[in-house]
Amino acid sequence: MLASSPAASAAYRRRQSPKQLEAQVFAHVTRQLRTAQGEADARSRARAVSDAQRLWLVVEALVLDPTNQLPVPLRAQLAGIARAALRECDAGEPDISFLTEMTEQVGAGLWS
């Protein structure tokens, strides 16, 4: 395995499309949620849910932006998913399995 330096990481990111970079954010949050799901540590779970909430707030804001160039039906679907994920994040005991699934599915769509 090659050691990575900050310069190498930056060069790698420059070769990725914006869509691939977005997919990496979804993958990162998905990994955090999966890790938190198996842990009893409340702080780890809260951090993962908080990161998921920030991600879905950004998604919601972007798809509701009238200048967004995605097709309107896709924007509406993503807004609905974002709202469902945000409701779950706000629940007293968030269903991390649900959040993981939603985050993973949308992230996987970015790779295709």
Helices (H), ranges, 1-112: 6-14, 18-37, 42-64, 72-90, 96-111
pTM: 0.83
The pLDDT tens digits along the chain (112 residues) read 345 566 555 655 567 888 899 999 999 999 999 999 877 788 999 999 999 999 999 999 999 999 999 999 999 999 999 999 999 999 999 999 999 999 999 999 987 7
